[in-house]
Amino acid sequence: MSLSATATTKAPTQLLSKDGYTYAYRYFGSSAGVPLVCFQHFTGTLDLWDPLVFDALSRNRPVLLFANPGVGRSEGVPPQTVEEMARHAMVLLDELKLTQVDILGFSLGGFLAQCIALARPSLVRRLILAGTGPEGGEGTSMGRPDLLNIFFDQAMSMPQKLKRIFFSQSAAGQAAADAYLARVAVRSEDHDTAASAEAAVHQLKAMAIWENTKRAGFSDLYRIAQPVLVLNGNNDIMIPTPNSFTLNAHLPNATLVIYPDSGHGAIYQHPQTFIAHVEEFLGRQ
């Protein structure tokens, strides 16, 4: 493992092989501070992390971007449960000899973050859960026909899909979407590759299991003792916003932030405000 001092769009993709799997990751930023490990949304690749956000966050800490098998250049049989995805992430963290981390889980990545905090509480210092929900949360599988029709519409480009389901449809929301897409397009080489069709199907299965696993009173959340920052837009159509309120109500040490006129990708629609919230949260004593 080498820590690159370059920006998000210049950080090299590194590969680590273990037990028949190859994990693709990018590790960059300051050598000081607790590493911030980032887990991506459904079929999200390393190229879709916002350079504006992660350039800023990496000035004060190392940032590790990770992709599960079947996504991008990570190879191997794609996992079919959230717990399997979390185990793959922990294999990488162990191989990189990271003994304490902060975790940012976006959407599906927030499911992984919760699993890791429960499985290895000593590993996780703080959690940031963005556009996500608890196990058993209503609508967390994203299995609704309106969403699946967009995801699998071959006539619609990925940028069009992101503009439709990540951002508010207001003029301000669509302008923010265009700005985000311009930022992620800056990377000129060493691109990641799209998630495989098999990975997409397996991730949907994993999310369906996540939604349909019900535990009385969201009891697992009470075992996550770490400080947690929960963020979402006020109208998330992918993982409905009420799930963020559920997380906040049942996590013992949570702070909730809801952004106006925004949806699933609120952290990219309001990037400067998000950066400020994360820096304040991670810097608390």
179 vs 223: CA distance, rounded Å = 39
**Spatial distance between the Cα atoms of 22 and 68, rounded to a whole number of angstroms:** 9
Residues 6+ apart with CB under 8 A from 31: 3, 62
Contact between 38 and 104 (Cβ < 8 Å): yes
| Whether 66 contacts 90, CB under 8 Å | no
Residue 189's pLDDT is 94
Q: How far is CA 232 from CA 61, 88, 111, 280, in A?
A: 24, 26, 14, 17
Q: Between β-strands 36-39 and 101-106, what pairing exists: parallel, antiparallel or unpaired?
A: parallel
What CATH number was assigned to the domain covering residues 14-282?
Answer: 3.40.50.1820
Q: What is the pTM of this model?
A: 0.96
pLDDT for the residue 216 = 86
- By three-state DSSP, how is residue 102 classified? strand
C-alpha 16/C-alpha 30 separation (Å) is 21
Helix residue spans in the chain (DSSP H)? 51-57, 82-95, 108-119, 145-151, 158-165, 171-184, 197-212, 242-250, 266-269, 271-282
The pLDDT score that the predictor gives to residue 1 is 60
pLDDT at 249: 98
Q: What is the DSSP string of 246-279?
A: HHHHHSTTEEEEEESS--TTHHHHSHHHHHHHHH
Question: What is the distance between the alpha carbons of residues 269 and 170, in angstroms, rounded to a whole number?
Answer: 11
- pLDDT by residue, tens only, the chain of 285 residues: 678 767 999 999 999 999 999 999 999 999 999 999 999 999 999 999 999 999 999 999 999 999 999 999 999 999 999 999 999 999 999 999 999 999 999 999 999 999 999 999 999 999 999 999 999 999 999 888 888 888 888 899 888 999 999 999 999 999 999 999 999 999 999 999 999 999 999 999 999 999 999 898 899 999 999 999 999 999 999 999 999 999 999 999 999 999 999 999 999 999 999 999 999 999 997
Q: How high is the pLDDT of residue 273? A: 98
- Please answer whether residues 208 and 143 qualify as being in contact, where contact means their C-beta atoms are separated by less than 8 angstroms: yes
What are the extents of the domains in the chain?
14-282
